[in-house]
Amino acid sequence: MQRSTPTSAAGAAPRRLTGTAAFAVVAAVIGLALAASATPSPLYGVYQEQWQFSTITLTLVYAVYCIGVLGALLVAGSISDDVGRRPVLVTALSGLVLSTVLFALAESVTWLFVARALQGISTGVALGAAGAALIDLHPRGDARRVGLVNGTVSGAGMGLGSFVAAALVQYGPAPKVTPFVLLGVLFALALVATLLLPEPVRDRRRLSLRIQIPRIPPSVRGPFTLSALAVLASWSIGGIYLSLGPRLAAEMLHTDNHMAGGIAILALTIPGVFTQLIWHEADPHRLASIGAAVLGFGMALIVLSLSTHSAAFFVGASAITGAGWGVAFLGALRSLTVVIPPQHRAEVMSAFYVVAYASLAVPAIVAGVVVTHISIDDTFRIFGTLVVVLAAIVATLAARVRTGRAAVAV
């Protein structure tokens, strides 16, 4: 790892990570935060069976996390623009470490509510600061590369978090404890590394906590609107998969193995990581248009697979959907990161994540309520159809923006 040269004087400032090492630490924080969001998913069935609570209660546990994220983003999402990135990240990671302890010690559904709420608040605080710090700390200041890294670590974190947790629940010792011990150790290591980060914010002000809707500068509103629609289409699928995916996967794969849910979420997210790596040089509006179209097509195939009850069809359709999700998310993120003024980075990225987590939360919560009245297959059909329509709208709008830009360029 590269570090700044230390001074020999007594009481000298600690050595700071620089360059790629500092950038990698912030990227890891984003990946771990998304992994943590998915880690409880394979355990929900275990909790529900042991503690005998309803599906509505399970939906509320999921909702508490999302409300925590959104609340933190609205209250504290832009504070790193004022007080600095490093202190905000240190505070958020400390909260995430504590949340893993609460999960590991959980003895009732009340513990789940408290742990999930703390995890959500800490994640919301972390994401605004980390998204801005990624742009600040990239060694070459390349906003295009920042968008790629943010998108890939988000997808990989969500997929691997769910898959590893499912494997530990199925095959590891103490299934309600081991996933969170591992997660807690990783967060603790990230916390130590974060203490060594440089502070990119030079003009710092006093902390001011208040509910505030993140303001989008006029120059960013067009790209932000398109980005918001694209992330709405893509992350809404992730929310439904994280909340109902394990149950549907077990039904489609004809098994009660906890790995089924992990495989389904991995099939959705990992193709998205690879498509981002392959297509990262393309025009962001082209990415958003093509990605949304593929996403909508894949979601239509998932809906169709429910009628065939074919496990291979379901997994394949999930992979196609994930490939579109990755490209659409990358296009949305990259079209935004390249135009954010430096003084508004945390605020705009917080607004982006507000849309993302609202997209993750609202469909999942509503689906959790609906599934108590109709079958899980029919619930997926309804929400899948809505995603297909939304993806078609995003694909059309992105294509029009790209065509309009090309016409202006000529």
Residue 407's pLDDT is 46
Residue 213's pLDDT is 67
In whole angstroms, give the CA distance from residue 100 to residue 36.
9
Residue 136's pLDDT is 84
Count the Cβ atoms, other than its own, within 10 Å of residue 189.
14
* Tokens matching residue 336: 């935004």
Contact 40, 116 (CB under 8 A): yes
C-alpha of 47 from chain center: 23
Tokens 């302890």: give the residue.
101
Contact 150, 14 (CB under 8 A): no
What's the CATH number for 19-200+215-409? 1.20.1250.20
Residue 408's pLDDT is 42
Residue 310's pLDDT is 87
* Tokens matching residue 32: 């771990």
Each domain of the chain, given as residue ranges in start order, spans 19-200+215-409
Residues in the chain: 410
First to last CA, the chain: 46
DSSP 45-85: HHHHHHHT--HHHHHHHHHHHHHHHHHHHHHHTTTHHHH-H
The pLDDT profile of the chain, 410 residues, written as one tens digit per residue, is 334 444 444 455 567 777 788 889 999 999 999 899 889 888 887 888 889 888 788 878 878 888 888 888 787 766 777 778 889 999 999 999 999 999 999 999 999 999 999 999 999 889 888 888 888 888 777 777 887 888 889 888 988 988 999 999 889 899 899 999 999 999 999 999 999 988 877 776 676 666 666 678 888 887 888 788 888 877 787 777 777 777 788 888 888 888 888 888 888 888 988 988 888 778 877 888 888 899 999 989 998 998 888 888 988 999 999 899 888 878 877 778 777 887 777 778 778 878 887 887 788 788 878 888 888 888 888 888 888 888 888 888 877 776 655 444 44
Count the Cβ atoms, other than its own, within 10 Å of residue 225.
15
Tokens 């029009």: give the residue.
400
95 burial via Cβ count (<10 Å: 0-12, 13-18, 19+):
buried
In whole angstroms, give the CA distance from residue 320 to residue 271.
8
pTM over 0.85: no
